Amino acid sequence: MKEKRTSRYLKDKDGYFSEEQIDRTKKRSREMEEASRTRLTSQKVRAKTLTYFDEIMKYDGARSQELSDFQGKGGKIIGTMCVMVPLELINASGAKNVRLCSGYYEPVHPANELLGDAGLCPMVKSTLGSKMVNANPITNNINMVVGPATCDGKMKLAEILEDWVPVVMMNIPRVKIGETSSDIWVKEIEYLSRKLEEVTGKRISKRALVNEIKKWNRGHELWSKMLDIRRSKRPTISGQDAMLVVQASQMDDIERWNKKTSQLISELQDMQKKGMIAGEDGAARILLAGSPMMYPNFKIPAIVEESGGTIVHDELCSGFRLMSDPVMLDGITRKGIMRGLAERYFFPCTCPCFSPNDERIRRIKESIEAFGIEGVVFHTLRGCHLSNIEATKIELELRDIGIPMVKLESEYDEGDIEQVRTRVEAFIEMIKARRENEGI
């Protein structure tokens, strides 16, 4: 492991931020998380099992305690940054995985102090800020960060994080050309596995890898059952809750997550039999697309669902895409497993950092048909150029098939909340009016 180095960026790093500022960041983060949780728990129809997932994602909850206990016993915790990091590999090396991408608003300020207000994506700033002032107990004590070089923000974030924690950067090919890119990515995955073995001091065995893949495949299977529930005419889970559940998989032990999710699914199915429905009757069916929304930054989904829409599907790397594809293995050679893993995390991924990215449009169109979507809410974080550019392309394509789309640009603060609400309410009203017109 590397020695602790002095920061190149902030002179006298340990004493740079005053105690007061650190405390304020922590306090505001806690308040924000509590507010988000109250918003979730105050939904009228909500399955009881979801409290477990609340607990996992809670600021300073039982999970952060569990992780620090695990680390105290010599376990390693690996922070991941994008959906392209094979979590099976991390778990097979005996380490636990934690998604670093932060949804807390307050840590943006310490990062601003370092970078200046660089017009950068707030998620990147928040992630950096959380690390700078140790604001988030779950992601505080990580032993290593795995950062694929995806979008510009994430790429440079990983580079800067080097100062606080060892980082493994992975070179992800941004153009998917069959075998060439696959070969590069497989080699990067092998490099990651070597690095993981170095950190944990444990060899990643084939058997452990296959076992972990099975667990995550089980997770995929459960998630697709969840999609079936959301696809139905009367979904019993709201879009925010579904996003919470799938994001919890990134923080939780996958085996326990599987157990709880299958409980949740049977509860949701029971609720469906009783005729319950999440959100209002006759709500507009909305697809959420665009930049990621990490808990507790559930501003936009909350607004959508409060204004008479139900998010029945999403196309976010903080939602549906986390669990969307299983790893299929046709042989159990080590090389074959690595290739299977690598390709599962690379080819089906429709992150806008890939180009050309026609798959994304096709998949949005396909889910519009399958889920009976009536309108698309496209959300971009400020400074997310990739999503911004794709939004135009997607809007044009959606216009051809007659699906309305609203594009919302947001920052990490509550300042624009009323403005967004007005636009979303108008959008949903328009959808409902359209429905009536077509009915006549």
5 binds another protein (CB under 8 A): no
Please, is 356 exposed, middle or buried when counting C-beta atoms within 10 Å of its C-beta (0-12, 13-18, 19+)?
exposed
Spatial CB neighbours of 65, under 8 Å, sequence gap ≥ 6 = none
436 binds another protein (CB under 8 A): no
Stretch that binds another protein, among 129-137, 145-153, 245-253, 360-368 (CB under 8 A): 360-368
60 binds another protein (CB under 8 A): no
- Judged by beta carbon, residue 146 or residue 327, the one nearer another protein is 327
Spatial CB neighbours of 367, under 8 Å, sequence gap ≥ 6 = 287, 313, 315, 373
CA dihedral 9, 10, 14, 20 (to 10 degrees): -130
198 binds another protein (CB under 8 A): no
Please, is 38 exposed, middle or buried when counting C-beta atoms within 10 Å of its C-beta (0-12, 13-18, 19+)?
exposed
> How many residues of this chain interact with another protein, rule: CB under 8 A?
43
Pick out residues in 214-243 that bind another protein (CB under 8 A).
214-215, 217-218, 221, 224
Using CB under 8 A, which of 113, 190, 197, 359 touches another protein? Answer: 359
Stretch that binds another protein, among 4-12, 258-266, 280-288, 409-417 (CB under 8 A): 258-266
Decide: 107 and 132 in contact? Cβ < 8 Å.
Answer: yes
255 binds another protein (CB under 8 A): yes
Is the peptide bond between 356 and the residue preceding it cis, with omega within 30 degrees of 0? Answer: yes
Pick out residues in 326-355 that bind another protein (CB under 8 A).
326-336, 339-340, 343-344, 347-348
- Judged by beta carbon, residue 159 or residue 366, the one nearer another protein is 366
118 binds another protein (CB under 8 A): no
Please, is 5 exposed, middle or buried when counting C-beta atoms within 10 Å of its C-beta (0-12, 13-18, 19+)?
exposed
Using CB under 8 A, which of 36, 139, 200, 258 touches another protein? Answer: 258
Using CB under 8 A, which of 113, 198, 306, 325 touches another protein? Answer: 325
Query: Could you give the string, one character per residue 396-435, with x where binding to another protein holds by CB under 8 A and - elsewhere?
Result: ----------------------------------------
Interface residues with another protein (CB under 8 A) are: 176, 178-179, 182, 210-215, 217-218, 221, 224, 255, 258-259, 262, 324-336, 339-340, 343-344, 347-348, 359, 362-363, 365-366, 369
